[in-house]
Structure 1
Amino acid sequence: MNKAKILLLTFATALLVACGTTRTVPITGRKQNLMVSDEQVLSLSKQEYDKYMATATKSSNAANTAMVKRVGQRLARAVEAYFNNHGLSEELQHYSWEFNLVADKQANAFCMPGGKIVVYEGLLPYTQDEPSLAVVVGHEIAHAVARHSAEQMSKQIRDNLGVQVLGGALGALGVGSTTTQIAQVVAQQGLQFRSLKYSRDHELEADNMGLIFAAMAGYDPRVAVPFWQRMASGKGNQSDMFSTHPADAKRIAALQRLMPTALQYYHGGSGSPAAPAPKTSRKLTNKKQSSRQKTVSASSLYRNAEK
C-alpha cells in the first residue's frame, strides 16, 4: 500500500471515529462507538413495534400472559435499579416497558430499543418455568440496553462511508454528506429491528448481561445451562434469531465461567438491588462487592468467552 493510500485510510478512519460517540456497555465494561443517536433508534423502533403489534395475535392464555408480564416487570425493576445505582439512569429515561405474549409457534423473543418485549408462545415449552423465562427475556433486554441495534447500524454506516472514502469520494465527503449517509443508513436499516442478526460477540455479551439481570431480579441463574441445552436440542423448531448464536458448547462454557459472579448477585451481593424480589419458580400453564469489582469480573469473563 503506497503512502497516499495509507494517509487516506488513516484520515478516513479518524473521520469515521470522530463522527461517533464512545460509550461503555454496562456490566461488561466494553467500549463501543455509536454513530446513531438514541432518539433516532427509539423513534424507528417504536414505529416498527406499533406496526408489528397491530397485526400480531396476542396469546389467549391469561396465565401465561400474566407470567410474561410478571417476569418482565421484575427484570425491568432490577435493570432500572442497577442503572440508577451506577449513575446511568439517563440511559433509560426514554424507556417505556411493555411485555407481550403472542400466539406464534416459533421459539423466539425480542426486545425493541425502548423496552418493548415480545415473547412467542413457542418459546414456553423450552423455558418451562419463570427463572428460565427470565434468562431469555434478560438476554433480550440486554441487547436493547447494550445498544446492540445502534452498534450494528453504526457498523453499516462506517462500512458505507469507508467504501466511499477509499473509492475516491473523500473530496466531496464533508460533514453534511456524512450526516446524509448516516440518515440514509438509519432509514434503510431502522425498520428491521426484529430481523436484525446480532454478531456472535453480541450474543455472548447478551448472555452475560442477561444472566446478571436475571440474578439481580432474584431468579436462580443456574437454570441458564439446562435452558440453553433444551434450546439446542430443538433447533429445528427455532427462528432465525438463533442462527448467529454462539456454538452450544461455547455458550454453556461461558455461562459456567460467569456463574460464580451471577450467584453473588442472586444471593444479594452489593451490585444487586437492595431488596431483591422473592425467589420463585412458578411453572408455566397450558390452557388445554463493590460494583466496580463485579463489573471488572464480568468484563474479564466476557473477554474470555470470546476466545
Structure 2
Amino acid sequence: MKKVISIVMLALFIVSCSTVPITGRKRVNFVSDAQILPASFAQYESFLAENKISADVGMTNEVQSVGMRISKAVDQFMRANGMEAEANSYRWEFNLIDDPTVNAWCMPGGKVVFYTGILPICDNTNGVAAVMGHEVAHAFAKHGQERMSTGTLLQLGGAGVALGTANKDPKTQQIWNTAFGLGAQFGIMLPFSRNHETEADKLGMVFMIMAGYQPEEAVNVWIRMSQRASSDQAPPEFMSTHPSNQTRIKNLKAFLPEAVKLAKKYSAQPVSSNQ
C-alpha cells in the first residue's frame, strides 16, 4: 500500500506539473477549473449576501474601475499568448465590503473583495491598483488550485506515514505523525504560501504597469502597512503565511526594473481607460 501511495503521488506530481506564465515557476496543479470554479462563484455570492456592501459610491466605483482595467490587461495577455479558453473561464467581479479589516482577497476565477479597512493603506488610485494587481495575480497564477493540489498530496503522504507505522507502538506512531505534521506545516505549506505571496506581489506589479498605473506605489503600500503594524504583532516570518513587510518592500524595490521590462514585453496593447 505504501508503494501504491508513493506511485500515485509521483504520478500526480509528474502529470500535473505546469508553468506559471511570466514568472516561469513550476507548479503542481491537478484541480481543474471545472472542478473549482462553480464552487468558487457560489461561495462568493454567499459571502456577498452575508456581508455589507459599501454604500460609498465613489470608492466602490474606483475599486471596480481599477479592477476592470487590470483584469482587462490580464485578459489581453492571456488571449495574446494562446490562453483563450482560460481567459473565457474567468468571471471578473470586484466588490467593496464595509468592514474595518485591513484585507483584500481574490477567489479562483476572478472574484475579488476589498474591505474598506484597506483603503487608507492604499491611500490613492495607484495604491488601489497595487493591491488589486496582487489579488488578480493570485487568480491568474491559480494559487488556490495549487494549494488544493498540494493539500491532497500531503493527505496522501500522511496516509503513507500512518500505514508505514501501523505496526509500531503508539508512542512511535505519534512521533512520526507529529514529525510529518510539523514538516508539512513549516517545511511545505508556510513556505509555499509565502512563495505564492511573493509571486503575486511580482505579477501584480507587472499587471498594474500593463494597465497604466505607477509601480512605485506598490512599494509605498507596504511601507504604509509596515508603519501601521507594530513589530510585536507579527509572528516570525518562518511561522507566517506571508513574507514580512520589510521583505516585501525589499523584494519589490529590487524587482521594479524587471517588472517594467516584463510589462513592456508582454503588453498586448495599451489598456484604454482614464486613470
Q: Deviations for 1:98-136, whole angstroms, at most 9, x for unmatched residues?
A: 111110011111111111111111111111111111111
CA contact (8 A) 1:9 1:166 kept: no
Q: Amino acid of the residue matched to residue 210 of structure 2?
A: M
CA shift, 1:265, in A, is 5.5
CA contact (8 A) 2:101 2:117 kept: yes
User: After superposition, where does 1:75-114 map in structure 2 within 5 Å?
Assistant: 75-114=70-109
Q: 2:213 matched to 1:213?
A: no
Task: Name the CA shift for 1:37/1:212 in 2 (closer, same or farther; >3 Å).
Answer: same
User: After superposition, where does 1:64-143 map in structure 2 within 5 Å?
Assistant: 64-143=59-138
Please state whether the residue corresponding to 1:137 is helix, strand or coil: helix
How large is the RMSD of aligned CA atoms in angstroms? Answer: 2.8
What is the aligned partner in structure 1 of residue 250 from structure 2? Answer: 253
Please give the alpha-carbon distance, in whole angstroms, between the structure 2 residues aligned to 1:270 and 1:28.
13
CA contact (8 A) 1:203 1:245 kept: yes
What is the aligned partner in structure 1 of residue 259 from structure 2? Answer: 262
CA contact (8 A) 1:103 1:121 kept: yes
Please state whether the residue corresponding to 1:270 is helix, strand or coil: helix
CA shift, 1:219, in A, is 0.3
Q: 2:253 matched to 1:244?
A: no
Q: Amino acid of the residue matched to residue 11 of structure 1?
A: I
Please state whether the residue corresponding to 2:254 is helix, strand or coil: helix
Structure 2 length-normalised TM:
0.80
Task: Select 1:11's aligned residue among 7, 14, 25.
Answer: 7
Task: Select 2:193's aligned residue among 174, 195, 199.
Answer: 199
Q: 2:38 matched to 1:40?
A: no
CA shift, 1:279, in A, is 7.2
Q: Amino acid of the residue matched to residue 252 of structure 1?
A: I
Q: Deviations for 1:68-95, whole angstroms, at most 9, x for unmatched residues?
A: 1110010011000111111122222211
Q: Which runs of 5+ in 2 are unaligned?
A: 165-189
CA shift, 1:53, in A, is 0.6
User: After superposition, where does 1:141-180 map in structure 2 within 5 Å?
Assistant: 141-168=136-163
Count of residue correspondences: 245
Structure 1 length-normalised TM:
0.73
Q: Which runs of 5+ in 1 are unaligned?
A: 170-195, 281-307
Larger relative contact order (CA 8 Å, sep ≥ 6): 1
Q: Amino acid of the residue matched to residue 251 of structure 1?
A: R
Q: Amino acid of the residue matched to residue 22 of structure 1?
A: C
Please give the alpha-carbon distance, in whole angstroms, between the structure 1 residues aligned to 2:88 and 2:82.
12
Task: Name the CA shift for 1:239/1:146 in 2 (closer, same or farther; >3 Å).
Answer: farther
- Quote the sequence identity (%): 38
Q: Deviations for 1:178-208, whole angstroms, at most 9, x for unmatched residues?
A: xxxxxxxxxxxxxxxxxx9971011000001
Please give the alpha-carbon distance, in whole angstroms, between the structure 2 residues aligned to 1:86 and 1:231.
35
Please give the alpha-carbon distance, in whole angstroms, between the structure 1 residues aligned to 2:12 and 2:201.
29
CA shift, 1:16, in A, is 3.7
